[in-house]
């Protein structure tokens, strides 16, 4: 059964209704991602600022998961592209790598219970200003992760690829996120050779994109094919549990992931705008539904990878909950007897009435209010404030598809600006739908 839970049949007959074992596993992997947020040190006065608060041996215990049955074996750090590094860290000796996740492996007892040795690679979502800027670099670029077969038609979002492949430039650098992850996965695969194994990626938001890139990279390089054989016992299943994840690449990327057997379960909220990004206008879904004629763009269109498990939750008192990982997990926890709780209210979890125009107005208004009250220095594209007041003009200012250079112009972005970004992008998503 564990292979079905890992998506060997693309979760066929397990999603509607949601199988209780799959639901439990989704929540379990979601808790690993939550651990990334809990362990990330955001105290600027701390010696561990922007790193993990705890050592590997006690990390899971410190975040409330002492009985997880997994051992953390590797911390993962990521750096943005040089153009972003140079702006935020003008000193060549400064370190721009940030702790972004960890790799854990099931212990012997958990392995017996699960039926295989499970290697988990977990990434948090966007937190720092550099990461937000990287997220806005929404142009598609060839992945070229296999040096022997570059496959120029396989393209991914530039910002995500930058975080995954960029190296730390200082002498204290730990290598790129990619180098760290692949080397540790290869070490673990050799260590546990001969056992039944699974490779599971978990991530939220930007972390979901990184998880998909890792899964593709592992499969493209053939690291999960022991001895080069293609039988079920020799191919280690590679699965991604994506929470509120954006689109990662183009149609060529999607097709290649499918060819390689990469399984992605996208847990999404119908009200979450991040899951509609990037490619609000130019995406394969719009092309298939004839909403916007983009067929001539071919492989320039963004496309989601994998199978979707669609949730529906919203709160008027807390609009940002639509993208909050804790809200995703709570919705799944409240999912009892394989039935979504139907509600007649316009807030809460489950399927309920939604006044979309009111939601959009509230989001844009709240984002503009918090942006204007911020004490941080903001230097973004001219006209954003005016666009926030007239949200029919927003699309012209912030479409990542049309303004690929925005990532290099958004500087000094403070934490409160994230709210405006979220609000404006929410409106953009509604326009596309």
Active site residues: 205, 272, 323
DSSP run (H or E) holding 200: strand 197-204
Q: What are phi and psi of 199, to 5 degrees?
A: -110, 120
C-alpha 32/C-alpha 311 separation (Å) is 20
Residue pointed to by tokens 């070229």:
144
Distance, CA of 417 to CA of 423 (rounded, Å):
10
Q: Using CA atoms in the order 246, 63, 133, 307, what is the torsion angle rounded to 10 degrees?
A: -10
Please name the residue that has the structure tokens 């608060």.
53
Listed residue (189, 27, 18) closest to 103, CA to CA: 189
Q: Which stretches of 315-416 are DSSP H helices?
A: 325-333, 356-373, 384-389, 394-398, 406-409
- Prior bond of 17 cis (ω within 30°): yes
Strands 238-243 and 197-204: parallel
Surface-to-core class of residue 13, CB atoms within 10 Å of its CB (0-12 exposed, 13-18 middle, 19+ buried): exposed
Which residues lie closer than 8 Å to 323 by C-beta, 6 or more apart?
205, 244, 269, 272, 273, 274, 422
Per DSSP, the residues of 130-198 read HHHHHHT---EEE----TT---TT-EEEHHHHHHHHPPP-STT----HHHHHHHHHHHHHHHTTTS-EE
How far apart (Å, rounded) are the C-alpha atoms in residues 203 and 175?
21
3-state secondary structure of 277: coil
Q: Which residue is it, tokens 């979504």?
A: 340
Sorted by sequence, the CB contacts under 8 Å of residue 102 that are 6+ apart come out as 35, 36, 52, 56, 59, 72, 74, 75, 76, 122
d(CA 416, CA 262): 36
């Amino acid at each position: 059964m564990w292979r079905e839970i890992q998506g060997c049949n693309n979760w066929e007959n397990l999603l509607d209704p949601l199988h209780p074992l799959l639901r439990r596993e989704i929540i379990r992997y979601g808790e690993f991602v939550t651990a990334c947020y809990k362990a990330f040190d955001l105290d600027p006065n701390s010696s561990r600022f922007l790193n993990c608060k705890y050592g590997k041996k006690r990390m899971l215990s410190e975040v409330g998961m002492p009985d997880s049955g997994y051992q953390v074996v590797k911390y993962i750090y990521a750096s943005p592209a040089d153009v972003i590094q140079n702006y935020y860290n003008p000193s060549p000796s400064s370190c721009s790598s940030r702790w972004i996740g960890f790799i854990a492996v099931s212990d012997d007892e958990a392995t017996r219970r699960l039926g295989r040795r499970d290697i988990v690679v977990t990434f948090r979502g966007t937190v720092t200003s550099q990461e937000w800027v990287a997220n806005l670099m929404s142009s598609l670029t060839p992945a070229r992760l296999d040096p022997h077969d570059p496959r120029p038609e396989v393209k991914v979002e530039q910002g995500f690829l930058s975080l995954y492949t960029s190296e730390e430039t200082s002498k204290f650098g730990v290598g790129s996120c990619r180098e760290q992850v692949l080397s540790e996965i290869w070490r673990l695969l050799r260590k546990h050779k001969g056992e039944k194994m699974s490779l599971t990626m978990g991530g939220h938001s930007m972390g979901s994109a990184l998880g998909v890139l890792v899964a593709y990279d592992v499969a493209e390089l053939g690291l999960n094919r022991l001895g080069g054989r293609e039988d079920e016992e020799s191919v280690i299943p590679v699965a991604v549990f994506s929470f509120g994840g954006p689109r990662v690449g183009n149609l060529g990327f999607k097709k290649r992931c499918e060819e390689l057997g990469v399984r992605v379960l996208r847990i999404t909220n119908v009200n979450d705008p991040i899951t509609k990004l990037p490619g609000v206008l130019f995406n394969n879904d719009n092309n298939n539904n004839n909403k916007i004629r983009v067929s001539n763009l071919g492989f320039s269109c963004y496309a989601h990878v994998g199978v979707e498990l669609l949730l529906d939750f919203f709160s008027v008192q807390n609009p940002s909950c639509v993208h909050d990982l804790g809200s995703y997990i709570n919705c799944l926890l409240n999912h009892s007897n394989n039935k979504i709780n139907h509600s007649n209210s316009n807030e809460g979890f489950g399927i309920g009435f939604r006044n979309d125009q009111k939601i959009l107005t509230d989001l844009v208004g709240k984002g503009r209010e918090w942006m204007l009250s911020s004490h941080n220095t903001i230097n973004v594209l001219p006209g954003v404030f005016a666009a926030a007041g007239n949200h029919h003009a927003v699309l012209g200012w912030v479409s990542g598809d049309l303004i690929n250079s925005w990532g290099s112009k958004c500087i000094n972005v403070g934490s409160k600006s994230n709210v405006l970004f979220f609000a404006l992008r929410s409106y953009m998503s509604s326009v596309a739908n």
